[in-house]
Amino acid sequence: MNLYLASAGANAWSQPFFQHALLAGTFIALAAGLVGYFLVLRAQVFTGDALSHVAFTGAMAALAAGYDLRLGLFTACILVALLLAGIGRRGKADDVVIGSAFAWILGLGSFFLTLYTTSASGMNDGGAGVRVLFGSIFGLDAGQTLVAVLVALGVGVAVMFLGRPLLFATLDESVAAARGVPVKALGLAFLVLVGITAGEATQAVGSLLLLGLLAAPAGAAVRLTDRPFRGLALTAGLAVAEMWAGLAAAAWIPRCPPSFSVMAAASLVYAATYLRRPTTRRSRTVTA
Amino acid sequence: MGSASFSWNLVGDFQQMWSYPFMVNAFRAGATVAVVAAAVGWFVVLRRQTFAAHTLSVVAFPGAALATLAGFALSLGYFGFCVAAALALALLRRGREPGGSGESAAIGIVQAFLLACGYLFMALYKGLLEGPQTLLFGSFLGITTGQVTTLAMAGVAVLGVLAVIGRPLLFASVDPQVAAARGVPVRGLSVAFLVLLGAATAEAAQITGALLVFALMVLPAATAQVLTARPGLSLLLTVVLGFAATWAGLVAAWFWPYPLGFFVTTIAFALFLLAHGARLLSTALANRIASATIPAGAA
Amino acid sequence: MNPAAQAQQQDLLKVEPASPAASGAPVTPTTPVLCLCGAAARVGGRTLWSGVDLEVQAGEFVAVLGPNGVGKSTLVKVLLGTVPAAAGDIRVLGRRPGEAGHRVGYLPQRRSFDSDLRIRGIDIVRMGLDGDRWGVPLPWSRSRRAEQARVDEVIELVGASAYAHRPIGQCSGGEQQRLLIAQALVRRPEILLLDEPLDSLDLPNQSAVAALIGRICHQEGVAVVMVAHDVNPILHHLDRVVYIAEGGAVCGPPSEVINSETLTRLYRTPVEVLSTQDGRLVVVGQPEAPAVHTDRHTGREK
């Protein structure tokens, strides 16, 4: 729908839809970057993948039932995050179990999509599925932008608050547990944050693409620095910069969907990190 | 879809269904796809490569979108993209520990980027594309006999290669270090397997849609590996389960107006839950018997 | 290690002795830092050991020995408070297990880091200092410099300065182990609980790490309780041995415990201890504990 408004070109900068997108995008990218850094360090990217698909099903279920799409997004993501944390030991579920569960949830999503597009309210809204899957950041209105910014800020503050113990629990779980760090509760809280972020980012780049927003800046930062908190800051910075670059490209290039240009910017930055040799000397090979 | 109503006269229902050539083709294609996906999926679950499998399966979407945009054969788009993505993953995997943080990030980025490309192709094509929903969630309508032949040939090729490399692949999956010491080319096998996986997903995606291939791949195998630890039996069980879920899904999709993918995933997931329930029950029983015979707390 | 570096370390040790008074604990030399009285542990309905009496003074080096699966690691976990004791009275620095907080340093069994984990060793050590505090470290925080200094100092102490700035995934097993010992030491603990720290190290590294632990123990006055499956690399540094077998345990100086008589009594089956020419001890005929594997795995997953 609003995707092709982008062809307005340079005029886009002054349009309210672009300003909303810029504002919401900035904060969503910030939250996604911060959460993504820990997601990559904890090797839980696949969990993020699962949650992103849950976002689709949740949104479709809400639409089919006639509620606001965001209600379904957040409810589904948080519930499944709690579930994944619950079935896995130490808040980390087995990949096969995650995969099995989200394969079905995705099938359920296709069911709700059919239900919605064949229902009375969704008859004229054939693009709803595509919008949820691939995002519609240029379609946010002022109210949606405000909610998105507030939720993203909340996620950011929570990640900063949990930051150090979460890092400890991630890198060195048994010692952290012996030190009294609530390892299990942290794993759970973190997954809930991932769930909320997935719901957030779905509005920006869509449930299929939000994985890139979570993983790409963090993947690049992990390759660029080996200091954890510098890496966290770098991830957030890269995510925001990539979002801006993507939005600008979408405004300038006709018919370029913003979701694609954001992903392209993120992937380009990640690919560029392969050109640079890691800073550390690999003076000797390590025998494990 | 929904072109007939379900009566409890099963034989009559089946005959009616079978009288439509496109339904016969759907059953044939479904069977091929289910068997290939299940066999490859069994190794996916064993090797814990679910994330890579999911990534390769969604890559079918940009492949199909590009084929539509550029106007070449859909199958070419499916197979080309999936195999190319498999090689890319193999390249990214080089020199890393499997399952490490770096690898999963790289896979995730490849997946998101390629999906974004698919979306771009779709946006560029605009209008005449048969709808992203079909590419993503699959359709069993309008499968031609030619398509079935292509699928069957590709399926036979994948299964043939899998049969040849099956035993060393099993060894390399279960115990890579010992296998490498015995002269099994572990790294080569890993690349070959990713390519096979790409081909299998490309094949299955044409029926189930890019998003739901993964279900066909992981669910039957995960179910079978819950039920038995014997490799041969569990492989056989995987194929049977995948086949049953697909055909049952096709029958259901014939009678009810909801997507095929929904039925296939729901049936397969129900089987998965049943298997887990059965195992929990049997271990609970075994524990009770054990605790009844051995007094607890004996030092 | 070159003499200069060694001298530097000696200096550091003189400057920074871990005095009990500094950390605000009323531990006089006569109060044991660690006290077990009739302690017992039960895991999964099976009693691992019972009736264990042990007192450890500050600056003592105690090894926990015994065959696989008798509950050596469980003893460490009981002292940490992560596994509750089934019976008996246990005091760690005069308190109940788990309440002594940062005054206990812990090195769990066999940890290794992913080879592609790109986090520096120094950051891992730093986690030991402030990893359990909420929030993220702020660049303008006042205590930052002091914390940095403490981390550098402890890395120097274990002789890991050369590779502390490298990603820990790229360090060898021995290097990782030294960094992890530094992590356990960084808060100046009064007790160090080590679970098989020499496991998976080669022989030269084993004796080097053993010497390092012995030095920390005797010069800094830190009580060390170390689980080991082989007593020989640490034999020269040991003050006392706890030998666990088949539900019971014997404590005492190494020479009194690791001999044919005591072990035969403990196992209730003939066991012989041989002494080689270079002073190494070999235990012959010791029965393995039942259900070794299952027990070890359940223990680890906890």
pLDDT digits (tens, 9 = 90+) for B136-170: 777 777 788 888 898 899 999 999 999 999 888 88
Residues of B in Cβ contact (< 8 Å) with C71 = none
Which of C43, C46, C116 to mutate to test binding with chain B, by most B CBs within 10 Å of its CB? C116
d(CA B93, CA A155): 32
B to C CB pairs, distance under 8 Å: 25
Residue C10 CB neighbours (<10 A): 12
> How confident is the prediction for chain A on average, in pLDDT?
84
* Nearest-CA distance A51 → chain C (Å): 24
**Proportion of chain C above pLDDT 70, given as a percent:** 83
Compare B272 and A288 and report the one with higher pLDDT.
B272
pLDDT band of residue A2 (cuts 50, 70, 90) is very low
The string of pLDDT tens digits covering residues B79-133 is 999 999 999 888 887 655 555 667 788 888 988 999 899 888 888 876 555 566 7
Instruction: Tell whether C296 is covered by a domain.
Output: no
Residues of C in Cβ contact (< 8 Å) with A179 = 101-102, 106, 131-132
**Proportion of chain B above pLDDT 90, given as a percent:** 25
Nearest C-alpha in B relative to C114 = B100
- The DSSP annotation for B171-185 comes to HHHH-HHHHHHTT--
Residue B50 CB neighbours (<10 A): 28
Q: In which residue are the tokens 């994985």 written?
A: A211
CB under 8 Å to A1, separation ≥6 — which residues? A127, A131, A136, A139
Range among A76-90, A109-123, B26-40, C10-24 rated most confident: B26-40
d(CA B147, CA C298): 52
- CATH classification at residue C231: 3.40.50.300
Cβ(B198)–Cβ(B85) under 8 Å?
A: yes
Taking CB atoms and an 8 Å limit, are A164 and C172 in contact across chains? Answer: no
Residues of A in Cβ contact (< 8 Å) with B106 = 219
Taking CB atoms and an 8 Å limit, are A164 and C136 in contact across chains? Answer: yes
pLDDT band of residue A241 (cuts 50, 70, 90) is very high
d(CA C197, CA C225): 11
Taking CB atoms and an 8 Å limit, are A227 and C112 in contact across chains? Answer: no
Q: Does C99 touch chain B (CB under 8 A)?
A: no
3-state helix, strand and coil shares in percent for chain A, rounded to the nearest 5: 80, 0, 20
d(CA B142, CA B149): 14
Taking CB atoms and an 8 Å limit, are B103 and C247 in contact across chains? Answer: no
Instruction: Tell whether A142 is covered by a domain.
Output: yes
Q: Which chains touch B (3 or more CB pairs under 8 A)?
A: A, C
Joined together, the tokens standing for residue B164 give: 């040849």
CB under 8 Å to B91, separation ≥6 — which residues? none
Taking CB atoms and an 8 Å limit, are A107 and B124 in contact across chains? Answer: no
Position B146 scores a pLDDT of: 86
Confidence check: pLDDT of A284 > 70: no
pLDDT band of residue C207 (cuts 50, 70, 90) is confident
Joined together, the tokens standing for residue B137 give: 């969630």
Nearest C-alpha in A relative to C113 = A171
Instruction: Tell whether C290 is covered by a domain.
Output: no
Question: How many domains does chain C divide into?
Answer: 1
Taking CB atoms and an 8 Å limit, are C111 and A177 in contact across chains? Answer: no
Taking CB atoms and an 8 Å limit, are C46 and B100 in contact across chains? Answer: no
* Nearest-CA distance B74 → chain C (Å): 39
Position C246 scores a pLDDT of: 75
Taking CB atoms and an 8 Å limit, are B299 and C116 in contact across chains? Answer: no
Position A124 scores a pLDDT of: 61
What ipTM does the predicted assembly reach? 0.84
The shortest CB-CB distance from C137 to any of A41, A175, A229 is to A229
Q: Does B294 touch chain C (CB under 8 A)?
A: no
CA-wise closest residue to C51 among C85, C10, C3: C85
Confidence check: pLDDT of C183 > 60: yes
d(CA B113, CA A171): 29
List residues bridging with C226 in a β-sheet. C63, C194
Position C287 scores a pLDDT of: 64
List residues bridging with C192 in a β-sheet. C105, C224
For helices A258-272 and A183-205, the axis angle rounded to 10 degrees is 130
Nearest C-alpha in B relative to A36 = B105
Joined together, the tokens standing for residue B68 give: 């539509």
Question: What b/e string do you get for C208-222 counting C-beta neighbours within 10 Å, with b at 16 or more?
Answer: bbbebbbbbbeebbb
pLDDT band of residue A7 (cuts 50, 70, 90) is very low
The string of pLDDT tens digits covering residues B222-277 is 999 888 888 888 999 999 999 999 999 888 888 888 888 888 899 999 999 999 89
Domain span including residue A40? 14-275
Please say whether the dihedral angle defined by the alpha carbons of residues B105, B106, B107 and B109, taken in this order, is positive or negative. Answer: positive
pLDDT band of residue B8 (cuts 50, 70, 90) is low
Nearest C-alpha in A relative to B41 = A96
Nearest C-alpha in C relative to B105 = C116
Instruction: Tell whether C155 is covered by a domain.
Output: no
Instruction: Tell whether C299 is covered by a domain.
Output: no
Taking CB atoms and an 8 Å limit, are A162 and C183 in contact across chains? Answer: no
Residue A177 CB neighbours (<10 A): 20
Instruction: Tell whether A283 is covered by a domain.
Output: no
The shortest CB-CB distance from A107 to any of B120, B212, B218 is to B212
Confidence check: pLDDT of A104 > 70: yes
Taking CB atoms and an 8 Å limit, are A226 and C184 in contact across chains? Answer: no
Instruction: Tell whether C178 is covered by a domain.
Output: no
Instruction: Tell whether C62 is covered by a domain.
Output: yes
pLDDT band of residue B200 (cuts 50, 70, 90) is very high
Confidence check: pLDDT of C102 > 80: no
Confidence check: pLDDT of C27 > 50: no
SS3 C37: strand
The string of pLDDT tens digits covering residues C122-175 is 988 888 888 888 878 887 777 888 888 999 999 998 888 999 998 888 888 888
Query: For C42, phi and psi rounded to 5 degrees?
Result: -135, 130
Residues of C in Cβ contact (< 8 Å) with A165 = 131-134
Homologous superfamily of B19-211 in CATH? Answer: ABC transporter involved in vitamin B12 uptake, BtuC (1.10.3470.10)
Confidence check: pLDDT of C87 > 90: no
The string of pLDDT tens digits covering residues C31-42 is 788 888 888 888
Instruction: Tell whether A155 is covered by a domain.
Output: yes
Q: In which residue are the tokens 């814990």 written?
A: B48
Residues of C in Cβ contact (< 8 Å) with B297 = 42, 45-47
pLDDT band of residue C11 (cuts 50, 70, 90) is very low
Instruction: Tell whether A169 is covered by a domain.
Output: yes
Question: How many domains does chain A divide into?
Answer: 1
Query: For A16, phi and psi rounded to 5 degrees?
Result: -60, -35
Could you say which residues from 207 to 236 on chain C have a Cβ atom under 8 Å away from some Cβ of chain B? none
Confidence check: pLDDT of C18 > 70: no
Joined together, the tokens standing for residue B97 give: 């520990």
Confidence check: pLDDT of C54 > 60: yes
Please say whether the dihedral angle defined by the alpha carbons of residues A85, A88, A91 and A93, taken in this order, is positive or negative. Answer: negative
Instruction: Tell whether C219 is covered by a domain.
Output: yes
pLDDT band of residue C297 (cuts 50, 70, 90) is very low
- CATH classification at residue A74: 1.10.3470.10
Task: Indicate the range of A95-99, A240-244, B247-251, B287-291 predicted with least confidence.
Answer: B287-291
Q: Report CA-CA distances (Å) from C159 to A234, B34, C113, C177.
A: 31, 59, 20, 11
Instruction: Please compute the mean of the pLDDT values over residues B6-30 and round it to a whole number.
Output: 80
Instruction: Tell whether C139 is covered by a domain.
Output: no
The shortest CB-CB distance from C114 to any of B101, B296, B299 is to B101
Q: Does A3 touch chain B (CB under 8 A)?
A: yes
